[in-house]
């Protein structure tokens, strides 16, 4: 029997943060993880995170994972068990059993923090067991952990952030993404993620679903169909798409088996992903000594999981220590979580959390989206009206270089604000507000370009020469073009508009592989050119 104050189950972002919160406060903590490495989904997240500076927005998930893992290994209060699978919890005896190297270990913890995460939802369509049909998580694991190219031509099902990000990563890995389909009338994830793949020429089909997979031995294509407002298939709109992989990214379900088995009160809330434990604001379940954190408490982003992990850790630890400082931090985390969830994109999680506890309301306020869907949220491509709303006046356009932030959706994000050396970018008090540039302060230095997690900032030098302009853009593909190279210049839909010359390549360690490429183009295209493609 191994005695410990705290046992944390699950070594993803939530579990690591929970263990660290306890370990930092000198509380004896055991962290168990099923795999032989820590980090959970974080170690596949090669993209930059949204959120606020405090939660390391603008850093790539893999970097955050490295730092957290190092801190776990250094902390003497945390005993780490890898390759250790939870077997069950016996509430009467307060014994938690774990399988490691074929042996059953028995733990006797004073408090449990369960952070087992989630698993991918599956989808029923004809021939859905053909080889070549993957979950997005599997595709990401093959690519980003094992370095294996999963397919040549992928059709992505689902336009949530995972579907959009994995599509982008597939293209980075040299895989063609033949389309992203989405059953809802608007993009599920952040529209800036959609803009990134649109600029790479990926078609996006909203109000579409997959009808069947085509192929005998393996996937050779898919049949998709359009849906009407009531989610009914519209006959005659069937379309065949050639592909050798159908990638499913249709949402996650909380992994609650241990909680349900332990006897925690459970409830089914669609907005939170399915069956979730009833819990209070301190992440405590109906069983006093069991706390939860992360996706199993309701599907959200990794930033929220890390905050919840720390919150659960501190609240569980608070039963051993009574330090005023912790109470302050607990209030701060609760506040940060509320801010993260308060924008229009947080309306689903807010509605789910409000159903979670009877008689208690997590959220009084928060902003919701209007009923009418703007074109940008449907296509990922800003409308003329969107673009006019951000351009400086004619005089400023013609003066010196200026930054242009093509960010038209209120999401919790602020790296641009915090990285402008001249304080030209602001978004007021709410992190969900759209950023605004004070063009009297913007010097056109371009240091914001590589900091934007949405790759939505461009630098325009309209009067580069008498007849040409330059557009500087973020570029995360390989190989990196050389100065002087002639490349295809593409518009926001990834269509070639003209050939252009690379006049500058900015690349340094601080930019962490988001290089900035400046390309010279005829003046008329300064507000059209948004991507480049290398000419073979």
Partner 1 sequence: MMKEDNIIVCRCEDVTLKDIRELIKRGYTNIEEIKRITRCGMGPCQGKNCGQIILREISMITGIPVEKLTLQRYRPPFGGIKFSEVLGENNDEK
- Give 106's strand partners: 97
Q: How far is the CB of 99 from partner 1 (least distance, A)?
A: 5
Instruction: Kindly state whether residue 20 participates in binding partner 1, applying the rule CB under 8 A.
Output: no
Instruction: Kindly state whether residue 125 participates in binding partner 1, applying the rule CB under 8 A.
Output: yes
Among 2, 62, 77, 128, binds partner 1 (CB under 8 A): 128
Instruction: Kindly state whether residue 257 participates in binding partner 1, applying the rule CB under 8 A.
Output: yes
Task: Please give the residues from 201 up to 240 whose contact with partner 1 meets the rule CB under 8 A.
Answer: 211-212
Among 46, 144, 159, 253, binds partner 1 (CB under 8 A): 253
Instruction: Kindly state whether residue 322 participates in binding partner 1, applying the rule CB under 8 A.
Output: no
Q: Is the distance from CB of 527 to CB of 391 less than 8 angstroms?
A: yes
Stretch of 62-70, 86-94, 219-227, 427-435 contacting partner 1, by CB under 8 A: 86-94
The H or E element containing residue 534 is strand 531-534
Q: How far is the CB of 260 from partner 1 (least distance, A)?
A: 5
Give the contacts of 52 (CB within 8 A, at least 6 positions apart): 336, 339, 340, 412, 413, 414, 431
- Of the candidates 158, 193, 153, the residue with the CA atom closest to the CA atom of residue 174: 153
Site size for partner 1, by CB under 8 A? Answer: 36
Question: How would you label 246-269 residue by residue, b for 16+ Cβ within 10 Å and e otherwise?
Answer: bbbbbbbbbbbebbeebebebeeb
The H or E element containing residue 303 is helix 302-317
Instruction: Kindly state whether residue 503 participates in binding partner 1, applying the rule CB under 8 A.
Output: no
Report the residue number, 269 or 457, with the smaller CB distance to partner 1: 269
Among 184, 266, 278, 434, binds partner 1 (CB under 8 A): 266
Residue with tokens 């993260």: 340
Cis peptide before 272 (omega within 30 of 0): no
Q: Is the distance from CB of 473 to CB of 532 less than 8 angstroms?
A: yes
Stretch of 158-166, 270-278, 302-310, 429-437 contacting partner 1, by CB under 8 A: 270-278
Q: What Å distances lie between residue 357 and 130, 286, 367, CA to CA? A: 42, 11, 21
Report the residue number, 129 or 372, with the smaller CB distance to partner 1: 129
Q: How far is the CB of 379 from partner 1 (least distance, A)?
A: 29
- How many whole angstroms separate alpha carbon 434 and alpha carbon 165? 21
Q: How far is the CB of 259 from partner 1 (least distance, A)?
A: 9
Report the residue number, 89 or 376, with the smaller CB distance to partner 1: 89
Residues that bind partner 1 in the complex, under the rule CB under 8 A = 85-90, 97, 99, 102-104, 119, 121-122, 124-129, 211-212, 253, 255-258, 260-261, 266-270, 274-275
């Amino acid at each position: 029997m191994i005695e410990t104050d705290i046992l944390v189950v699950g070594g993803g972002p939530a579990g690591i943060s929970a263990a660290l919160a306890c370990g930092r406060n000198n509380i004896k903590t055991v962290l168990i993880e099923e795999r032989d490495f820590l980090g959970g989904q974080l170690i596949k997240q090669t993209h930059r995170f949204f959120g606020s500076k405090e939660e390391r927005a603008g850093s790539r998930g893999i970097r955050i994972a490295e730092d957290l893992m190092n801190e776990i290994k250094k902390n003497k209060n945390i005993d780490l068990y890898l390759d250790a699978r939870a077997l069950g919890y016996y509430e009467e005896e307060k014994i938690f059993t774990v399988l490691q190297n074929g042996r059953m270990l028995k733990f006797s913890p004073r408090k449990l923090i369960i952070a087992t995460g989630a698993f991918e939802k599956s989808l029923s369509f004809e021939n859905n067991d053909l080889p070549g049909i993957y979950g997005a998580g599997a595709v990401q694991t093959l690519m980003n952990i094992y370095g294996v190219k999963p397919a040549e031509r992928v059709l992505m099902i689902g336009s949530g952030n995972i579907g959009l990000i994995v599509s982008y990563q597939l293209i980075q890995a040299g895989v063609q993404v033949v389309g992203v389909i989405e059953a809802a009338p608007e993009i599920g994830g952040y529209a800036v993620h959609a803009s990134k793949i649109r600029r790479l020429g990926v078609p996006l089909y909203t109000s579409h679903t997959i009808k069947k997979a085509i192929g005998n031995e393996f996937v050779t294509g898919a049949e998709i169909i359009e849906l009407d407002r009531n989610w009914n298939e519209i006959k005659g709109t069937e379309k065949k798409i050639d592909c050798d992989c159908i990638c499913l990214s249709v949402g996650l379900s909380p992994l609650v088996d241990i909680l349900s088995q332990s006897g925690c009160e459970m409830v089914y809330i669609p907005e939170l992903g399915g069956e979730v434990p009833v819990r209070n604001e301190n992440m405590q379940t109906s069983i006093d000594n069991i706390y939860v954190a992360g996706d199993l408490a309701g599907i959200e982003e990794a930033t929220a999981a890390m905050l919840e992990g720390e919150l659960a850790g501190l609240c569980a630890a608070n039963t051993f220590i009574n330090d005023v400082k912790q109470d302050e931090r607990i209030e701060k985390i609760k506040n940060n979580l509320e801010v993260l969830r308060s924008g229009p994109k947080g309306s689903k999680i807010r509605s789910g959390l409000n159903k979670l506890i009877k008689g208690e309301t997590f959220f009084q306020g928060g902003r919701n989206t209007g009923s009418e869907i703007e074109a940008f949220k449907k296509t990922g491509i800003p409308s003329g009206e969107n673009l006019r709303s951000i351009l400086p006046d004619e005089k400023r356009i013609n003066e010196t270089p200026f930054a242009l932030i093509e960010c038209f959706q209120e999401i919790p994000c602020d790296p641009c604000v915090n990285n402008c050396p001249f304080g030209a970018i602001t978004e007021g008090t709410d992190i969900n507000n759209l950023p605004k540039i004070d063009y009297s302060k913007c010097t056109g230095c371009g240091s914001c370009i590589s900091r934007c997690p949405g790759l939505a900032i461009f630098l325009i030098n309209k009067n580069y020469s008498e007849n040409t302009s330059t557009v500087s853009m973020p570029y995360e593909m390989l190989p990196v073009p050389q100065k002087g190279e002639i490349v295809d210049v593409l518009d926001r839909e990834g269509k070639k508009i003209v050939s252009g010359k690379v006049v500058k390549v900015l690349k340094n360690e601080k930019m962490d592989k988001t290089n900035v490429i400046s390309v010279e183009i005829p003046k008329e295209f300064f507000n059209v050119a948004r991507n480049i493609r290398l000419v073979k």
